[in-house]
Amino acid sequence: MVITELFCAFKSDKQVVAKLTTMITKDKVTEIFCIIDEFDKNFDLELKKNLLPVTDGKQHRNRKASLSDSEIMTILLLFHFWTYRNFKHYYIYCICGHMKPDFPNAVSYNRFVELEQRVFLKLVFFLKLFAFGRCTGISFVDSTMIPVCHNLRRYANKVFKWVAADGKGTMGWCHGFKLHLLCNGRGEIITFCLTGANVDDRNPKVWKVLAKDLYGKVFADRGYISPKLFDSLFDDGIQLVHGIKMNMKNRLMSFYDKMMLRKRYIIETINDLLKNKAQLVHSRHRSITNSLVNLVAVLGAYCFFENKPDALQGYYIEDSKQLALF
């Protein structure tokens, strides 16, 4: 009798928690889907206008999948809002079970893994055109390691063979990739660059990508100390501000720059959210394409987070291409 009462109480509590979770996430699901669906329709419309006609005389299949591209992208982004540590469990128990009314045409897990590769290009365009923020004149840059496996298993890893590299960071050696991030003072990601783990943070090719739409001041840690990099960015109207090492001569620095260097916790917090909340790092990838889809989905999900680190509310510097040194 007691066991039956406990089971009924546990079942009712579980139903309440499930209903509460549904109430919390339903508005967020609707918001994300509407934004992505609007972008998807406009993207397909522009794509049809600019595609060249097929003139090979053969018939090509153009059958739509049961899941639309906007639904696939929404499912990929929603995974990083939950506490699931495994995408398969999330898809089977959450999408096909708990959220079945929201996605009535959900396919099997194996079929979804095949379909998610179709939306990689659309996710990249969505990040660049809609999700990412813009430069405000105050930017922060940092990099973080993305290991693909344990260091002892790097020679047995077959998925990322000839792609991943060995590199050393602040946390030790790593076999995988390095994610270079650039954000503004409002905690919005401006752009990113993915390289091997052995690529230096001061690499000119990396900064060629990061500095495309950049102006004003960029605050970095001591790992970005390079006179050559400073001069190249200064010629483009960008001032690189960083601390000094113990064996370097002291130099004058404005009080404003010293205070802004302490605001670097913004980019550090972003790296923490991407790794610990959005599950950027795990070793369960079985294809390179799906790992890239997961990376892009993580960055897209972060853009919808409500707890972004924010240190400069309403602060903005015009794009004048002139540096205020004093």
Instruction: Decide if 296 is inside a domain.
Output: no
Among 92, 110, 127, give the residue marking a domain's end: 127
Whether residue 189 sits in one domain with residue 78:
no
Tell me what pLDDT residue 113 has: 92
The dihedral of CA 239, 296, 292, 120: what is its sign?
negative
Percent of the chain with pLDDT over 70: 87
**278 and 160 share a domain?**
yes
Q: Measured between alpha carbons, how far is residue 109 from residues 91, 92, 97 in Å?
A: 7, 7, 12
CA angle 12-18-21, nearest 5°? 140
Tell me the C-alpha distance between 317 and 216, whole Å.
Answer: 8
Banded model confidence at residue 223, pLDDT cuts 50, 70, 90: confident
pTM for the structure as a whole: 0.82
Last residue of a domain, one of 109, 127, 145: 127
Q: Looking at the structure, do residues 83 and 174 belong to the same domain, yes or no?
A: no
**Joined tokens for residue 41:** 């329709």
Query: What is the average pLDDT value for the chain, to the nearest integer?
Result: 82
Q: Which of 178, 254, 248 is nearest to 217 (CA)?
A: 254
The answer to whether residue 62 sits within a structural domain is: no
Give the list of residues 6+ apart from residue 178 with CB closer than 8 angstroms, or none. Answer: 143, 144, 145, 146, 167, 169, 194, 195, 196, 197, 199
Q: What residues make up the domain containing 34?
A: 2-46+67-127
Query: Residue 173 phi/psi, 5° resolution?
Result: -75, 150
Residues 149 and 273 in one domain: yes
- Burial label for 282, CB within 10 Å (0-12, 13-18, 19+), is middle
pLDDT over threshold 60, residue 25: yes
Is 139 inside a domain boundary?
Answer: yes
Verify that 144 and 198 share a domain, yes or no.
yes
